[in-house]
Amino acid sequence: MHRRVIALLPVLGLMSANAEESQSIWDPLQVHGFASQAVVRTSDNHFFGNSPETSFDFTEIGINASLLINPQILLSGQLLARRAGNMYDGTPNLDYGLADFTLASSIEHRWGLRAGRIKNPLGIYNETRDVPFTHPGIFLPQVVYFDKIRNLALSLDGLMFYGETYSNLGTLSLTVGGGRSVLDDNVEWTFLRNDYDGEFQPNGIVGLARLWYSAPGEQLKFGLSGTTLSLQFDPGQHSPLSAGTTDIFYWIASIQYDAEDWTLTAEYAREPLEWRDYGPLLSNLRTTVEGYYLQGTYRIRPNVELLLRYEEGFANRNDRDGVEFSLLRGPPPFTYFSKIWTAGLRWDINRQWMVRAEYQRHHGTFVLSFRENPDPSQLSEYWNLFAVQAAFRF
């Protein structure tokens, strides 16, 4: 797979040359894409592959097309191939595929409807979380944007209404959506800590809402976004679990301030969870996952950026040191929280190429995937990560 990825890069380069050319005439069809490869090394614990031995298993390749049928109707779709350690094997899938209808627009407001597979506008980064250029750092703050369970709130198959009002006071926007969530095996690994015989199915529809404010000039932005969903476990013949359900409400409060040379970002996420009716092996349980981070980026030059971030996340906000959960469910207390310092450097070499490097100091292992670290006795409480990434776009 790794070789295949590298073999693709020149092909993408050719396509980019074509894309530049096709932009020389007005064209309602646009094609864009990106590819990235990271190298990850950790002192202990597996993160995006066999990282203690140096992992090359973090690759992202996406290609999208959009067609403006008329000023009110946009069709768009993106294929994404993502390899992330044991969590994703790089099989391409439809990241989004939608029709966007602008129902009304003026210099004071805009209303519209999107239908199809739509990325959930949760927090500041979720919609473009797999596009390296759109967020600081190689890894998003894991306590809010869990990669171990990335698909849970990634996108939905359904409808979203959006409305925005523009004035001298700024922009206020509201998005409301509903549909079916797009799940995968990682959800099961995270919520059941195993890959049991059986499958998670969406239980009813997913609801989503986002309320966002941007000051004129967009220097200050803040908002609330959240989604509520329920999962039903459909047990196989050999499953030790019965047909339980897990109810999830995940919300994020976000704020960002942009100055010319620096940007400050803070987000706070909370996720009340409830497991019901899984049988004796997994007793009924309620918890509230919590995570927050403060992140500063400073641009030494327009194309060179420094990153500093601190984040904390807890499996249960009423048991932040993990002691109670450890007694109840087994693994040591430090597996129920993460406290992470991150420092990074990003260099945008030109319009198409970017490289960056990142160091992280971890206390706790809450953000790690069980799928990648199935034996908790092998986990280390204090660990370091170093990663570099090269990314290309067109």
Partner 1 sequence: MDGYYSRLNNGCPWHRSLDNAAAPTCSATNRSSGRLKKVFICLTVTLWPWMLTAQELIVNKATPNTQISQNQARLCFTMRLPLWENNVPVKVFVLPDNHPLHRKFAKNILGLFPYQLRQVWDRQIFSGTGQAPIMVATEQEMVERVASTPGSVGYVESGSSYPQVRTLEVR
Residues 27-46 that bind partner 1 (CB under 8 A): 30, 32, 34
Residue in this structure with the two tokens 């966002």, named with its chain if needed: 212
- Rounded CA gap, 275 and 230, in Å? 10
83 lies in the site for partner 1, by CB under 8 A? no
257 lies in the site for partner 1, by CB under 8 A? no
- Rounded CA gap, 196 and 193, in Å? 9
By the 8 A CB rule, do 157 and 98 touch?
no
What is the per-residue binding string for partner 1 in 89-108, x denoting contact by CB under 8 A? Answer: -------xxx-x-x--x-x-
Comparison of 237 and 350: residue with beta carbon closer to partner 1: 350
What is the per-residue binding string for partner 1 in 120-159, x denoting contact by CB under 8 A? Answer: -x-----xx--x-xx-------------------------
Selected from 101, 166, 213, 341, the binder of partner 1 by CB under 8 A is 166
Residue in this structure with the two tokens 């210099």, named with its chain if needed: 107
In this structure, the strands spanning 337-348 and 353-363 are antiparallel
Q: How many residues bind to partner 1 according to rule CB under 8 A? A: 46
By the 8 A CB rule, do 49 and 86 touch?
yes
21 lies in the site for partner 1, by CB under 8 A? no
CB of 248 to partner 1, least distance (A): 22
Q: Which span (112-120, 146-154, 179-187, 238-246) binds partner 1, by CB under 8 A?
A: 112-120
By the 8 A CB rule, do 158 and 98 touch?
no
What burial letters (b/e) apply to 248-259, b meaning 16+ CB within 10 Å? bbbbbbbebebe
The region, left, alpha or beta by phi > 0 then psi within -120 to 50, assigned to residue 26 is beta
Question: Which residues are at the interface with partner 1 (CB under 8 A)?
Answer: 23, 26, 30, 32, 34, 62, 64, 66, 68, 70-72, 74, 76-78, 96-98, 100, 102, 105, 107, 110, 114, 118-119, 121, 127-128, 131, 133-134, 164, 166-168, 216-218, 258, 260, 299, 302-303, 351
